[in-house]
């Protein structure tokens, strides 16, 4: 009862600001859900025959794909918009003017396709492949980062190397899908909201950025890459903008394009769109992407906010710094450990083994649209408190429990994997258990998603 009265009283901008700030913190500029998705995808799908054993495919440019499938894509994207309007809660409808029309020159078709998907028009969408750490790329074949992503060098967690592809090259579906599973973090969802100061953001019809700082370039992608579907009802009541997260829209859109491309004889784009969809599925396996403030109960949030309203803002600021530091600490450890294992060609590393571990796949039902809420985020949200607590035991306190330390600014300078590895055995075990557990879920949901997609792609023509 006390809580309910408090709730009523606290539906104020202070409470809103706290949650908004916490959501921003949880997605600070250098943080992705998983800093390099491909490192996990290569492992996860190595044990999915649908991809791992699929024959190599010929690389095809986007313009060729659009020229061949234009009229079919008109119908497909119209049907997809209807689906989204009926099935995605709080869906911001696509303005009619953005509907895809298959006429005009190749650049015009491309422009219309990008507008119909409502992605950043500067998205590179070039032909490239990410290579595994430890694999040398000859300088003549290397693809500069700027031709792959619109996101600048601040993305220092992701020291990936890219190979330039050409139309007609043969590539494996595994490499195409793994590479594409990073691509939504390469600027596709940046600047798409009405208040991001971009012309396209004003046209796309998504409305104002639900949370985060609209002036911070990278925070604008967060509402597409997070899914706050399991907060307590009072949290939504107090902060309704948290209902506006749309990974389900992105997943279904790219899954639909992938199926169509696979069915219609464009396997390169089939696997590439599949990788795009997979990115959002994988993001949602990260507990800090499925819960607003892991480790902090609703009552504490309310109390913290009450203090802030009385002018005592320190506790609030500390809470925001800590959730941001922990989010990044988890990724810092994960990406460094996995990159290190690839570089040493150690495929027995616990994280790589966990991502490949398919023994529990059969315990889950086949992937359906409902799985995003009922299974994937249900699991990651439920794991959020334990994840937060495990980080407290596994990572030196300076990086996750000291509110005066801000990892946002300096996280790239810290190698938490090296630090933990040089520390006590108990902390090493804690981190291995924690991150291997999360990587196992990452692998399971990646395979379930790809399996359902591949089955759907075989089930007859459009």
What residues line the site for Zn ion (CB under 5 A)?
185, 225, 283
Nearest distance from residue 45's CB to Zn ion, in Å? 18
State the Cα torsion 57-62-64-67 to the nearest 10°. Answer: 130
∠ at Cα 421 (418, 422), nearest 5°? 90
Nearest distance from residue 163's CB to Zn ion, in Å? 22
Pair 231, 8: CB distance under 8 Å: no
Nearest distance from residue 284's CB to Zn ion, in Å? 9
* Integer CA distances (angstroms), 419 to 104, 133, 389, 424, in order: 56, 21, 18, 10
Closest to Zn ion by CB, 41 or 306: 41
Q: Which residue is nearest to Zn ion (CB)?
A: 225
Residue 27 is encoded by which pair of tokens? 């997605």
Nearest distance from residue 301's CB to Zn ion, in Å? 25
d(CA 330, CA 125): 29
Pair 162, 131: CB distance under 8 Å: yes
Closest to Zn ion by CB, 225 or 316: 225
Closest to Zn ion by CB, 181 or 306: 181
Nearest distance from residue 34's CB to Zn ion, in Å? 8
Residue 184 is encoded by which pair of tokens? 């939504």
Nearest distance from residue 132's CB to Zn ion, in Å? 20
Closest to Zn ion by CB, 35 or 387: 35
Closest to Zn ion by CB, 18 or 442: 442
d(CA 273, CA 266): 11
Q: Which of these, 285, 266, 224, 269, lies nearest to 442 by C-alpha position? A: 285
Three-state DSSP at 27 gives: coil
Closest to Zn ion by CB, 306 or 387: 387
């Amino acid at each position: 009862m006390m809580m309910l009265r408090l709730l009523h009283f606290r539906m104020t901008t202070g409470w809103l600001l706290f949650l908004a700030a916490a959501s921003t913190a949880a997605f600070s500029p250098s943080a992705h859900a998983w800093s390099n998705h491909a490192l996990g995808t290569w492992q996860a799908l190595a044990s999915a025959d649908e991809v791992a054993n699929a024959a190599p495919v010929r690389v095809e440019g986007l313009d060729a794909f659009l020229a061949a499938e234009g009229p079919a894509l008109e119908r497909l994207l119209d049907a997809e918009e209807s689906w989204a309007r009926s099935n995605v809660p709080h869906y911001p409808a696509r303005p009619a003017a953005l509907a895809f029309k298959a006429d005009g020159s190749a650049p015009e078709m491309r422009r219309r396709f990008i507008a119909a998907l409502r992605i950043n028009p500067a998205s590179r969408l070039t032909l490239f492949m990410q290579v595994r750490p430890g694999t040398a790329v000859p300088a003549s074949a290397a693809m500069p980062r700027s031709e792959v992503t619109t996101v600048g060098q601040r993305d220092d967690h992701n020291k990936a190397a890219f190979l330039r592809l050409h139309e007609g090259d043969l590539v494996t579906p595994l490499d195409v899908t793994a590479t594409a599973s990073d691509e939504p973090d390469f600027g596709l969802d940046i600047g798409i909201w009405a208040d991001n100061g971009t012309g396209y953001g004003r046209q796309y019809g998504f409305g104002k950025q639900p949370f985060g700082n609209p002036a911070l370039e990278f925070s604008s992608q967060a509402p597409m890459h997070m899914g706050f579907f399991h907060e307590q009802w009072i949290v939504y009541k107090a902060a309704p903008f948290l209902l506006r997260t749309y990974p389900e829209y992105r997943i279904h859109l790219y899954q639909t394009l992938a199926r169509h491309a696979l069915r219609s004889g464009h396997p390169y784009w089939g696997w590439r769109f599949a990788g795009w969809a997979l990115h959002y599925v994988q993001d949602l396996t990260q507990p800090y992407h499925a819960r607003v403030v892991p480790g902090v109960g609703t009552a504490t949030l309310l109390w913290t906010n009450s203090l802030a309203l009385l002018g005592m803002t320190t506790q609030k600021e500390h809470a925001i710094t800590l959730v941001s530091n922990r989010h990044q600490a988890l990724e810092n450890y994960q990406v460094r450990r996995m990159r290190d294992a690839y570089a040493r060609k150690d495929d027995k590393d616990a994280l790589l083994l966990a991502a490949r571990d398919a023994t529990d796949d059969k315990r889950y039902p086949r992937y359906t649209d409902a799985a995003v809420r009922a299974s994937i985020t249900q699991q990651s949200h439920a794991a959020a408190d334990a994840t937060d607590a495990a980080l407290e035991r596994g990572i030196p306190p300076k990086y996750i429990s000291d509110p005066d330390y801000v990892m946002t600014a300096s996280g790239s300078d810290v190698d938490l994997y090296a630090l933990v590895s040089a520390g006590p055995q108990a902390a090493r075990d804690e981190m291995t258990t924690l991150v291997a557990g999360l990587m196992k879920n990452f692998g399971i949901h990646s395979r379930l998603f790809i399996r359902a997609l591949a089955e759907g792609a075989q089930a007859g023509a459009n």
